[in-house]
Amino acid sequence: MKIRWKFFLALFTGIISINAYYFYVFRYTLIEPSNPSANESITPTLGASKLPDTSSKTAPSSVVMDVITYLVNNFEQTDLGKLLDSRYIKPGAESDPLWATSKNSYYTKTETGNLLGAKANTNHDHNSLYYSKTESNTLLDTKANTTGLSNYYTKTEVDSALSGKSASTHDHDDKYFTETETTALLANKSDTTHAHDDRYYTKAETTTQIQSNTALGGYSSVLPIQRNYVYIDQMESGWSSFYGNGTISYDTSDYKSGTSSVKVVTSNNATNSGARKTLSGTQDWSGKFIKIWVKVDNWSNINEVRLLVSTNGQFVDHFQASIRPLLTTPTDWNNQWIEFIIPTSHFTSVGSPNWSTVNQLIVRGIGNSGTTPSIWFDEYGVISNSSRSMLSITFDDGHSSDYTLARQVMESKGYKGNLFIIPSYLGTNGYMTQTQVDTMHNSGWEISGHGETNLTTLSAADQESNLSSTKQYLQSHGYRGAEIFAYPNGGVNPSIMTLTQKYYSLARTIVNTNQPISYMNPMTIHSRIVHDYDSTATVQGWIDSAIANKEWLILTFHRITPTAPSSSIEYLQSNFQTIVNYASSSGIEVLPMSQAMRRMQSF
């Protein structure tokens, strides 16, 4: 009985084992275990097409099916999941396209988890490219140390340094004035009559100068007009008659500045009449030039007006300069105060004078026989010359030779000049065409304004028409140099100067002297006209004088000719070439006028 029980138990176990084997092994015969590499990504498919046909098989008993179902369900939920996660199964004989194309594109859940787990380590350092929060805080704490690296001051150190400098008596190593010292110095300078060594404008003078320059356009801020006097005499005392002719007096009703002027009424015998002043000791006027205001009631009755500067005894050795030649049309200035700027180069020597030992001054005049013109003198000043010299070469009227001959000579040395053209003459016989003017402008020349008629001979309306139409032409072409005008025949008077300022910043006249650089009147810029009778040696002497006295020489030519001149306004091309060559070898700086004006700002 005992043996029979064991037999049936073994039989039952065998039946169950056979059915389980049949259900599992036979049913999944197309699925084989595998061991793919870690880089494979397999997603097995267990669809109905993978199963053998079991429709002819006898269904197992319900007990067997319950056991089999339990095993399958538990296998699919546990063992099969592990197999899939570990990728230990793959399709067998049948190829899965999805498997073949995607197996290397994705990580499994386990691999992804492992990778993230490896990167999530709290002490990872990103390959040492970044500081951890702890490291950053440590570094910041290190920088906050008052002794850290010595590159920065802490707030405490800054406060300490500032407190050390806050004493009211500190002197910053004698580099600065204290408030008390500054106040004391300003107090010493506050006298309304102080002159700051005569190098600056007073407030009143500044206001006056600004008003006088309101029409100077782009040059109102760059004109080298300065009150840098070395010596000035208001001509209010110390002057006495020197020649014993005519009468000398102080005129307190007609003067330019101060409280009076010196008035000289000439004798009727055409001899010298004038006043002298003896200076207190000698003065050094080396490298200086003279500026003085002069007024004459009738220039047509004047033979000469002259300044004399003694440097030894009673004018044994002295310099002298005539004023009348500085006016192109003197009669246009009757009863007008005129500011004469007399360059050192304009004075001639008598004896062996020396500018370093000036001891006496004379102002004098000579009337024509039978006349007694009156002459007023005021504000006798001496001004320092510039530190540099300049040369500008200009051409009047717009002759065709400017394009065909002068340009070739100038540009052989790299020079550019100013063309003062008369717009109505362009394209006519002997004058440039518009195209030629444009060509020269495009190559660097300046094109400036000129006129065909002396403005002093025109009505006020015609004067303005001439000035405005020329300016309109220049502006319409966008020419450099359009802010400069040359008075026809040098004709100018006070009313024309005022009118010209409405349209131009600078005006060039004919004075036949060099132009001092450190002081100038923008409406009466000096220029020298070069005539056919001026030798190359004469012109070279003007250049030498400009260099020696630090002056601005403006040479004005009219028509350049390849053959012997036939009029006074013509100049031989070969002689012109000689002058240009000499300028180049002398080292003087050669620029068109507006460029020269701007260049002077650095002097």
3-state secondary structure of 246: coil
Q: Which helix (H) or strand (E) holds 473?
A: helix 460-476
In the chain, what is the straight-line distance between the N-terminal and C-terminal CA atoms, in Å?
141
| 8 A C-beta contact, residue 450 and residue 469 | no
- The listed range with the strongest mean pLDDT (281-290, 488-497, 505-514, 554-563) is 554-563
* Mean pLDDT in residue range 70-86: 50
> H or E segment at 476?
helix 460-476
Query: Which amino acid is residue 533, in one-letter code?
Result: Y
pLDDT category, 50, cuts 50, 70, 90? Answer: very low
Give residue 148's pLDDT.
Answer: 45
- The Cα–Cα gap between 584 and 414 comes to 10
- Does residue 63 register a pLDDT over 70? no
Q: Compute CA 283 distance to the chain's CA centroid, rounded to the nearest angstrom.
A: 40
d(C-alpha 546, C-alpha 20), whole Å: 128
194 has a pLDDT exceeding 50: no
What residues have CB less than 8 Å from 243, skipping those under 6 apart? 271, 272, 273, 274, 364
Task: Give me the chain's average pLDDT, please.
Answer: 79
539 is written with which tokens?
A: 């012109």
State the DSSP code for 75: I
Q: Pick the residue with more confidence: 358 or 105?
A: 358
Show Cβ contacts of residue 430 under 8 Å, excluding neighbours closer than 6 positions: 399, 400
Give the global pTM: 0.64
Using a 10 angstrom Cβ sphere, with 0-12 exposed, 13-18 middle and 19 or more buried, the burial of residue 155 is: exposed
pLDDT higher at 40 or 251: 251
Query: What percent of the chain is modeled with pLDDT above 70?
Result: 66
Cβ within 8 Å of residue 373, ≥6 positions away: 265, 266, 296, 297, 298, 299, 301, 302, 365, 367
Q: What DSSP string describes 92-144? A: -SS--HHHHHHTTT---HHHHHHHHHHHT-TT--GGGTS--HHHHHHHHHHHT
* Averaged pLDDT, 161-181: 61
The tokens for 102 are: 């995607």
Spatial CA neighbour of 445 closest among 274, 306, 253, 593: 593
pLDDT recorded at residue 334: 93
Distance in angstroms (rounded) separating the CA atoms of residues 2 and 12: 16
Percentage of the chain modeled with pLDDT above 90: 54
Q: pLDDT tens-digit profile of 114-158?
A: 776 666 455 555 455 556 667 666 766 666 554 444 566 677 776
Amino acid at 290: I
Q: CA-CA distance, 127 to 139, in Å (whole number)?
A: 19
CA-closest candidate to residue 410, choices 387, 399, 394, 425: 394
Among the listed residues 73, 62, 74, the one whose alpha carbon sits nearest the alpha carbon of residue 16: 62
Specify the pLDDT at position 173.
53
Report helix, strand or coil for 572: strand
Q: Are 460 and 499 in contact (CB under 8 A)?
A: yes
CA distances from 192 to 209, 371, 381, 562 (A): 18, 43, 20, 62
How would DSSP label each residue in 49-65? GGSPP-TTSPPPPHHHH
- pLDDT for the residue 499: 95
The C-alpha atoms of residue 389 and residue 515 are separated, in whole angstroms, by 10
Q: What is the pLDDT of residues 372-392, one digit of tens each?
A: 999 999 999 998 888 899 999
**Taking 90 as the threshold, does the pLDDT of residue 486 lie above it?**
yes
Widest pairwise Cα distance in the chain: 187
Those residues whose C-beta lies under 8 Å from the C-beta of residue 259, and which sit 6 or more positions away, are 234, 236, 252
CA distance 355 to 284: 6
Residue 325: pLDDT band with limits 50, 70, 90:
confident
pLDDT at residue 441 greater than cutoff 90? yes
Reading the block at residue 282, the tokens are 């000698």
The answer to whether 361 touches 347, Cβ cutoff 8 Å, is no
Q: In whole angstroms, how far apart are CA 546 and each of 287, 346, 602?
A: 12, 11, 18
CA dist., res. 142 & res. 278, Å (int): 80
Residue 88 has pLDDT above 50, yes or no: no
Query: Cβ-count burial of 45 within 10 angstroms (0-12 exposed, 13-18 middle, 19+ buried)?
Result: exposed
> How many whole angstroms separate alpha carbon 304 and alpha carbon 88?
128
Read off the pLDDT band of 98 (50, 70, 90).
Answer: very low
Position 482 confidence tier, pLDDT thresholds 50, 70, 90: very high
**Nearest Cα residue to 417 out of 403, 431, 427, 430:** 403
Per-residue pLDDT for 414 more than 70?
A: yes
Q: Which has the closest alpha carbon to 349: 316, 380, 398, 314?
A: 316
Distance CA 278, CA 286 (A): 18
Q: Mean pLDDT check: name the lowest of 194-203, 313-322, 366-375, 467-476.
A: 194-203
The Cα 508–Cα 524 span in angstroms is 6
In this predicted model, what pLDDT tens digit does every residue of 251-309 receive, in sequence order?
999 999 899 999 999 999 999 999 999 998 899 999 899 999 999 999 999 999 999 99
Is residue 163 over pLDDT 70?
A: no
Cβ(397)–Cβ(426) under 8 Å? no
If you write DSSP's letter for every residue of 281-349 in order, what string do you get?
EEE--TTEEEEEEEEES-GGGEEEEEEEEEEETTTTEEEEEESGGG-SSGGGGTT--EEEEE-GGG-EE
Residue 408 and residue 566 in contact, taking contact as beta carbons nearer than 8 Å: no
Q: In terms of pLDDT, which residue wins out, 24 or 260?
A: 260
- Whether 246 contacts 266, CB under 8 Å: yes
Q: Say whether pLDDT at 29 is over 50.
A: no
Whether residue 97 has pLDDT greater than 60: no
How far CA 84 is from CA of 28, 78, 87, in Å, comes to 16, 10, 5
Give residue 50's Cα distance to chain centre: 89
Task: Decide which of 379 and 167 is more confident.
Answer: 379
